[in-house]
Amino acid sequence: MAAPFDIHIQIVPASRYHGMKFYSFGQRRSLGVRGLQKVVNMFAKYLLTPVGTDPLDPTYGTELPNLFGSNVDLRDAQDVLLLSVDKAAQAIRGFQNSLDVPDDERLATATLNAVILIEAGPGIAAQIRIENVVRQETQLLLPTLTVRT
């Protein structure tokens, strides 16, 4: 569940960006993230958090980050990715059922659309389709997750 102190990132057009920092809210009020972008941010945060690292909820997160640099076969890594996407989607829907969340910020589905096995890396890349309750959708792209074989 997103805590009140979580920071969600949304791309700001270059014409609206002020300052010389790599990461900045600029000199204006911070930009609130809403709608589908908030769903994607929440999903990505859950998916990429190693399970057991949240001191308030040891079950928060997935096994996916444990793949980075691990000694796992590419086919097994694909299974871990699929299970992690399913776990993240179920957990977020569970959080949101007990909260008053706007429909455009409520996760409907998260589906693993494509997995690209990169034998030379070795590693995998993935494309995840995220859809909210009002049928807005977008793709979350995970670049190469490198493993050792």
Within a 13 Å sphere around the CA of 20, how many CA atoms are in the beta-carbon half?
0
Phi, psi angle pair for 54, to nearest 5°: -90, 115
Asked if the structure places residue 20 within a domain, the reply is no
15, part of any domain: no
Q: Strand runs (DSSP E) across the chain, as ranges?
A: 107-118, 123-132, 137-146
CATH no. for residue 138? 3.10.450.40
**pLDDT for the residue numbered 17:** 57
Q: Which two tokens stand for residue 22?
A: 């790599």
Number of independent structural domains in the chain = 1
CA–CA separation, 37 and 135 (whole Å):
13
**Cα–Cα distance, 65 to 67 (Å, whole number):** 5
CA distance 14 to 16: 5
Whole domain around residue 92: which residue ranges?
A: 32-146
pLDDT of residue 30: 54
pLDDT for res 58: 92
pLDDT tens string, the chain, 149 residues long: the values are 444 545 555 555 666 655 544 444 444 455 677 888 899 999 999 999 999 999 999 999 999 998 888 888 888 888 999 999 999 999 999 999 988 999 999 999 999 999 988 888 788 889 999 999 999 999 998 887 777 76
Task: Tell me which amino acid residue 146 is.
Answer: T
End-to-end CA distance of the chain: 35
Give the pLDDT of residue 116. Answer: 87
Q: CA-to-CA distance for 111 and 90, rounded, in angstroms?
A: 12
Task: Establish if 11 belongs to a structural domain.
Answer: no
Domain-located, residue 19: no
Alpha-helix residue ranges (DSSP H) falling in 16-126 = 36-47, 74-97
Token reading at 28:
């204006």
Please report whether residue 135 resides in a domain: yes
